[in-house]
Each structure stands twice: as C-alpha cells, then as structure tokens.
Structure 1
Amino acid sequence: MNEAAAFSDDAFLGGRLRLRQPISGHRCGHDAILLAAAVAARPGDRVIDLGAGVGAAGLAVAVRVDGLSLTLVEIDPDLAEIARHNAAANALSADVVVLDVTSEASAFAAAGLAPDSADVVLMNPPFNDSGRHRSSPDAARATAHMAGPSTLEAWVHAARRILKSGGALTLIWRADGLGEVLSALSRGFGSLALLPVHGEAGKPAIRILVRAVKGGRAPLVLLEGIALNAPSGPASEVVEAVMAGRGTLPLARP
C-alpha cells in the first residue's frame, strides 16, 4: 500500500483542525475531542498530552487556547512523526517526544519533562481490561486500547510527578472503571470533578471525564452527564457545539 493510501486526512472541530492518521489501527474519535474540550488551560500554560497518538487531543486544546507551550508524548515513533506533521500542517507549535509514559523520572527529565514543570496534563490512557477484552490483532490498536493491572496507576503517577502543585490533570476512562480512577487519584490529587458521558440518553454512562488538582482539597463534584446521542435538548446541543469546535465542557470552566 502506498503512503497516500495508508493515511486519511480528516477534519475535526468543524474543519478548524485537520489530522493525518493511519487508516488502520487506532483512530481519533469522540474521546479525544471530548478530552480536549474538558481541559482548563490558559495562554502561557505548559500543557503535556501523555499518550498523544497523532496529536488529536493536545492539538485540539491548542486550537482553542492561544499561546500554549504544548508537548505531545507518544511511545510509537511512527505516530509521533505523524503528530509532528499534524502540528505543522495546522500551524500549531508543539514539541513531540517519543517516550513510554511508564518510564522513570530520569527518562522524563532527559526529554525535557522535569518534575513540577507542567501546569496541565491531559491523557487518554489505554483502558480496555486485557482480562475482559480480546486484544486487537493490529499492534498499534492493541497498544492504544489495552490496559494492564497497573496501567492507570503508572500514568497517573507520571502526571503527578511532572505537574506543579496546583496543576490539573484531565483524563478520560471507562465509566465502569471509575473505582480504579478514584483509587489512582487518591495519592496526591484532590478537588476532583467528574463528568459522565453516555452513549445514549437514558442509558448507563460509557465514559467518565475527570479533572483532578495536584494537592487539591476541595470536595468531589459530580456534574450532570452528557449524551453523545440524545434527542434535541441541552445535552445534545453541548456535544454538538464541542464536536464543531464551538464550545467546551464544564470541566474546562473551573
């Protein structure tokens, strides 16, 4: 298959963000755009996207917020190269680092990601339980989706290490894994805000968006959920605005 046939060029945020991505393997979708819309960032913030893939979530934040210092961290060098292309193609400034999120602090520091250096971290970790889901035969898709017993804890630990005190972590995870999220965030994080995401209105949530503050002490807040597919109404209007690049989610407005 030639290079042109192996990739697609897709529009996000109502055409404000165009992303090259492999036709096979893990592809960007609702999760990345919802995650980006949940990130509270301000001009001048240092923002780190862990497990960035082709850069969708981090670049979507940069489209919305001018003047970020953005770093995209990705383990797969091929995806990292596509992320570099996507940043340049959208005239967005981003450093792209090839690094395993579970690496030691010394590897992060060598890559320019020292402890207590980030204002904001966002991440969409692999979250399918390898014991409950059959792994994809596509290696890239399997790496992007399959989680081991310690995956979430390791990713949260990395985020906690590089965040400044008072910095915020925003992540997306399976809704039925909320207990794992709360457990992983119980060490060093507080001021949690949770936003359930329902596939269809009236049905159980399928995702949970979480914002947590390093060293935060405020009580946990559970926000009203949103539905990806809903009858006309406020919930569907919020999602439509987010997908079109015209709005954010409540987590982005602390």
Structure 2
Amino acid sequence: MSLPTSPEETTDDALLGGRLRLLQPARGHRAGHDALLLAATVPTDARHAVDLGAGVGAAGLSVAIRLPEARVTLVEIDLATAALATRNAARQTPDMSARITVVTADIATLARPSGPDLPAARAADVVLANPPFNDPARHRVSPLDEKARAHAIPDAGMEAWIKAAERLLEAGGRLRLIHRPEALEALLEALRGRFGAVSILPVHPTAQAPAIRLLVGAIKGRRTPPRLLPGLVLAGADGRPSPETERLLRAGEGVALE
C-alpha cells in the first residue's frame, strides 16, 4: 500500500479543541470521537500506555497531551497508517515526541519471542484498545481493504486483543477499551480469568437513545465482579453536545472508570 502524500489523499484535522492536529487518509478509516473517549479513560497516574490498533495515533497522542509525564507506544499493523502515526508524533513538541514510540506489528506477535522487541512483556501499566467493531456476521464489510481491517473482526477475535493486553501489562495493570454494546458477551468472556474489576460505562447519543458504545475498564489479575456505571450522554435533545462531552472531547479532561 502506498502512503498518502497529496492534499487530495490526506486531511489535516484538529482535535481536542485544536491542541492535536492529525494527518489522516481522506478516505477509509478516520479517527473521531471514539479515540478521544478512549483516551479520556486513561488514569492520570499512567506511566507507560500502549495503544493497540493505534491507527494514525489519535488516542495515544491524546493521552500524551493529557498526561505530560507518560510514555506512549502506538502499535499499528498497517504500514501506511503507522507511517502517518509516525509523522503525527513528529509534529508534536520535542518533549512530547520524545515520549512516543511507534511500532508496526500485528498485536498477536507482541511480547512473544518471534515478535518485535517493543513493547516488552509487562512493560506497560495501561493498555488501551479500539478493536475492530463490526462482526461480519452482523455487518456489511467495507470493500476498502484497509477500512475493513480497521472495522471488522468476528467477536471471537477479540480474545487476541485481550491476550496481547495481558502480556503487555504489569501485575495490576489496567486495560481500557471501547466497543459496541452487542459485543459485551464476547468481551466479558475474553476477559474472564485474565482481568477483573470490570467497569462498563455506556455511551448514549442522547438521554432517550440506547447506548452506541461501551467504555470498559479492567484490572489484570483481579477477581472483583463487574459493575455498570451511569451512562455518558453525548448530546441534549437539541443536538448540542452535553457539557461532559465538551469537557472530554474539546477540553481533553478525563472520565473515571474506577
């Protein structure tokens, strides 16, 4: 795959109220609210966050902006997308760029003898993940290969993401994940025996609408039962973003899952 280079192939977008600028493909998978919501769940005491399936770096770079002491590793399988993530990291301040590492790899190879040297096993205290959402059994798959890979895996494939997070996290390390509500059963099954103290925050487009996303937190090695948190409402009846949405998506503040 060739790397997008022309203005027609990439866009230069402002996120977090303009504090983060991202080069990303004009077509195919593009970063949006999901990445920023995921980044907002990372605890403020994080030291080393690994972003699995990082794309062009939206979530991981948002974490680096929120937490000026944290190191961030972006892991992306697609060469062209990882190259854009590298360019986006290089656009940040020198201090911030020095805290960011981009790794091109399949998550299934991480912390394994045949995989990349970084990130190393048990090197992270936080792993964040935005796995592909669309189980092909329930959703049409995009004809664009890179978009299909970014959006579609069977629910059963989620276990590979959970296993990778477990290998990368230190004892008591925290997982942060965003997914669709219909994947909840598969997600809980993948977490079973590996993570506990699962916290589930439903995300609703309006107060009257069903949840469209789940923000999920879990702790490696815990056995505490799951808990369901009060929902996050993105917009009022007038369609305007809620105050909490503005706080998370524009001001870059956090949301607690513990």
- Secondary structure, aligned partner of 2:137: coil
Q: 1:69 aligns with which of 63, 68, 71?
A: 71
Change (3 A) 1:246 1:101: closer
Cα distance in structure 2, aligned partners of 1:30 and 1:40: 18
Q: Which amino acid aligns with 2:12?
A: D
Deviation, 1:111, is: 2.8
For residues 24-74 of structure 1, what are the alpha-carbon distances to aligned partners after superposition, in whole Å with 9 as ceiling and x for unaligned? Answer: 01001110010001111426x111000000000000011000121211000
Q: Which residue of 1 aligns with 2:167?
A: 161
- Secondary structure, aligned partner of 1:200: coil
Q: Please report the TM-score for the alignment, with normalisation by the length of structure 1.
A: 0.92
Q: Does 1:128 align with 2:131?
A: no
Cα distance in structure 2, aligned partners of 1:173 and 1:19: 23
Determine which structure has the larger strand proportion and give its number: 1
CA contact (8 A) 1:33 1:57 kept: yes
Q: Which amino acid aligns with 2:80?
A: D
Cα distance in structure 2, aligned partners of 1:143 and 1:112: 23
Q: Please report the TM-score for the alignment, with normalisation by the length of structure 2.
A: 0.91
Cα distance in structure 2, aligned partners of 1:176 and 1:22: 28
Change (3 A) 1:246 1:155: closer
Q: Which residue of 1 aligns with 2:50?
A: 48
Q: Does 1:20 align with 2:23?
A: yes
Q: Does 1:9 align with 2:12?
A: yes
Cα distance in structure 2, aligned partners of 1:5 and 1:190: 46
Deviation, 1:13, is: 0.5
- Secondary structure, aligned partner of 2:178: strand
Q: Does 1:32 align with 2:35?
A: yes
Q: Which residue of 2 aligns with 1:138?
A: 144
CA contact (8 A) 2:206 2:235 kept: yes
For residues 147-171 of structure 1, what are the alpha-carbon distances to aligned partners after superposition, in whole Å with 9 as ceiling and x for unaligned? Answer: 1243210100000011001000000
Cα distance in structure 2, aligned partners of 1:21 and 1:85: 10
Residue correspondence of structure 1 range 95-110 to structure 2 within 5 A: 95-103=101-109, 105-108=112-115, 110=116
Q: Which residue of 2 aligns with 1:243?
A: 249
Q: 2:205 aligns with which of 196, 199, 202?
A: 199
CA contact (8 A) 2:136 2:154 kept: yes
Q: After the TM superposition, which of the residue ranges 215-224 and 55-64 deviates more from structure 2?
A: 215-224
Q: Which amino acid aligns with 1:223?
A: L
Mind listing any 5+ residue stretches in structure 2 that lack a counterpart?
none
Cα distance in structure 2, aligned partners of 1:246 and 1:97: 25
Q: Does 1:221 align with 2:227?
A: yes
Q: After the TM superposition, which of the residue ranges 235-244 and 188-197 deviates more from structure 2?
A: 235-244
- Secondary structure, aligned partner of 1:66: coil
Cα distance in structure 2, aligned partners of 1:218 and 1:186: 11
CA contact (8 A) 1:226 1:236 kept: no
Mind listing any 5+ residue stretches in structure 1 that lack a counterpart?
none
- Secondary structure, aligned partner of 1:106: coil
Q: 1:170 aligns with which of 176, 179, 183?
A: 176
Q: After the TM superposition, which of the residue ranges 19-28 and 144-153 deviates more from structure 2?
A: 144-153
Regions of 4+ moved over 4 Å: none
For residues 82-130 of structure 1, what are the alpha-carbon distances to aligned partners after superposition, in whole Å with 9 as ceiling and x for unaligned? Answer: 001111112233110000112262244x332222111110010001011
Deviation, 1:200, is: 2.2
- Secondary structure, aligned partner of 2:233: strand
For residues 197-254 of structure 1, what are the alpha-carbon distances to aligned partners after superposition, in whole Å with 9 as ceiling and x for unaligned? Answer: 112221111110101000123332211101222248xx92111111112422122xx3
Cα distance in structure 2, aligned partners of 1:240 and 1:169: 24
